[in-house]
């Protein structure tokens, strides 16, 4: 099914080792997190996820124990929240939450 690729240079071999290392890291299962139910009421809103761009960041800045030189593509998101009128569903207020990226020191 998959074909073994022989690296052409030491840099390509290094990148291949980094990719294998990154695939071996463990991530948090979102279903294992605590759930907080939404309170009762007639207030409604619409939430839109906005993908603002992609950045290539060094993996060491994101994942503890990542190998030197490994690069990860990271999406930058913002969320548009529209509060809706309970009477007619029209938009009363719009708020944008920009998740941005933390400045690395």
pLDDT 10s digits, 4-50: 555 456 777 777 776 676 666 666 777 787 887 877 888 888 999 99
Question: What's the predicted TM-score (pTM) here?
Answer: 0.49
- List the domain boundaries for the chain: 10-98
Dist. CA 45–CA 51, nearest whole Å: 19
The DSSP element (H or E) to which 91 belongs, if any, is strand 91-98
The string of pLDDT tens digits covering residues 86-104 is: 888 899 999 999 987 666 5
The pLDDT tens digits of the residues spanning 47-79 come to: 999 988 888 888 887 788 888 888 888 888 999
């Amino acid at each position: 099914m998959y074909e073994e690729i022989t690296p052409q240079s030491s840099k390509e071999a290094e990148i291949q080792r980094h990719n294998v290392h990154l695939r071996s890291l463990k991530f948090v299962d979102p279903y294992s997190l605590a759930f907080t139910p939404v309170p009762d009421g007639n207030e409604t809103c619409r939430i839109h996820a906005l993908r603002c761009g992609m950045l290539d960041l060094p993996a060491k800045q994101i994942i503890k124990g990542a190998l030197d030189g490994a690069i990860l593509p990271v999406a930058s998101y913002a969320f548009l929240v529209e509060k809706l009128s309970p009477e007619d569903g029209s938009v009363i207020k719009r708020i944008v939450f920009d998740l941005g990226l933390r400045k690395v020191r």
